[in-house]
Structure 1
């Protein structure tokens, strides 16, 4: 299923944000970090049957250029961008679905801009700082970043997947990240390693601010993610917030791999409360 997509740009301090709108109805935003708008397109097409769906490239990624390419990408900064987009589009308060680093973005949005959102679905946030082995994870993250910046992307990715608890088939890493690659993908990858991964994974949400903001917070976990870092972090977050947990089809990228069952699970969660 495909639907009409309107493409726009919004200037915000230090960046120009690429965003896309599909459909009509209650507003829902689908947010990644570093994933761009294209990753959410199949899910957005399905939800657009009865929602206005906003997708976007985060600042510094693909079609959202920065004034300063070396600017750090923090959940708070990305949340400010998302608040500006939601206000610009209108139709809020909105439901917001964020996956991975995007889950950190939507939690920061609910803390700092509660007027923009009624429901937050934080799908598999990589909140390593909530885990008992945070110090080991922090040291591993620093080494992974250093390897990447020293010119060893395969070594960095090998460390990343090991730390995340994700097993890849033999040869998959080389197929994904070796050989000739799209320069744009490489630029986005470098930005993530150099300026985003640590700021997102060691960001810590503020439970008091989230409760005071009034948005409903739902923690999403992939049915196939058991034992992975994001599964552990998501469960720690749900316990910290006493939040509802919803199990979604697939693993960390279930919305890419199985958009139809994923949409069927997400749709009732994002309905506006009466």
Structure 2
């Protein structure tokens, strides 16, 4: 395995102190490629350790989104918006001073990346947005938005276990949300190995901070089509019919491009991080091909 030096930097943003990591140096082979920024939300930098290990030919940057892991919120806010995350990303990219970056964005990070490119497309050469879960673009948007809001409400009312069980059920549902989705029995936390007791905390970055802002974001398709960025919208081969993959297909249509299929599922790049396994070597191969293909 190639050993790569990692440098951690701190950056002050509006209402947060951000920490980001830089792997590799801008000399040798790395100079032949744009800096590659890998982001998620609420996934932090640790989620990209395996994927980053397949890109030793270039400088790779990862970061912790505001309110997650090492990036502390300083404004006391309990929820974040894609626009806030986009401004954080702008600050990090500008601090890198590395010219337009390539950006691989996963899940909520893909929503935030779309907000970034709509506002600051000059900072991103190629965006690969993998399964951005915004319900606003779905034909069944009203029921999908209600299901997502219910997850947040359940978290505030009952705590992490019941809310996360609903999140798993929503994220894995195949096909549109039916009009009577609220009449379905609530999934049991115990069935997912989740705690059934409420510990009283309400600071979960997924269920509390980002659930409503991420899923209710409406992409600015006019701005995205006008951006200088090459935009690639992607979904996992195993994800067809699931909420994030359905959203990806609709966004691809809105941007005016074909949906690009990647190996595996929503977390296909994971190599054991958070106990999840995808197909990281195949995923990285596809990402290399997409990034290195002609504009």
TM-score, normalised relative to structure 2: 0.84
Aligned counterpart for 2:195 among listed residues 175, 178, 181: 178
Cα offset, 1:273, TM superposition: 5.1
Q: Does the alignment pair 1:78 with 2:78?
A: no
Greater CA radius of gyration, 1 or 2?
Answer: 2
User: 1:15-26 counterparts in 2 under 5 A?
Assistant: 15-24=16-25, 25=30, 26=34
Runs of at least 5 residues in structure 1 that lack an aligned partner in the other structure: none
In structure 2, the residue matched to 1:197 is: 211
Q: What per-residue deviation string (whole Å, max 9, x for no partner) do you get for residues 201-238 of structure 1?
A: 11011111012221111011011111110111111111
Alignment of 1:15-164 (within 5 A): 15-24=16-25, 25=30, 26-47=34-55, 49-164=56-171
Per mean C-alpha deviation after superposition, the further-off stretch among 7-16 and 115-124 is 7-16
Distance in 2, matches of 1:179 and 1:155, equals: 7
Contact 2:164 2:207 in 1 (8 A): no
Q: Match for residue 244 of structure 2?
A: 230
2:78·2:208 contact (CA, 8 Å) conserved in 1? no
Task: Quote the offset at 1:88 in angstroms.
Answer: 0.7
- With over 3 angstroms needed to count, the CA separation of the structure-2 counterparts of 1:99 and 1:85, relative to structure 1, is same
Query: Which one of 226, 241, 258 corresponds to residue 279 of structure 2?
Result: 258
Cα distance, 1:268 vs structure 2: 2.1
SS in 1 for 2:10: strand
Deviation at residue 179 of structure 1 after TM alignment: 7.5
- 2-side partners of 1:244 and 1:95: how far apart? 19
Pair 1:14 & 2:15 matched: yes
- Unpaired stretches in structure 2, ≥5 consecutive residues: 175-186, 271-277
Distance (Å, rounded) in 2 between the aligned partners of 1:93 and 1:12: 20
Q: Secondary structure, in 3 states, of the residue corresponding to 1:254?
A: coil
Q: Which residue of 2 aligns with 1:267?
A: 288
Query: What's the Cα RMSD here?
Result: 2.5
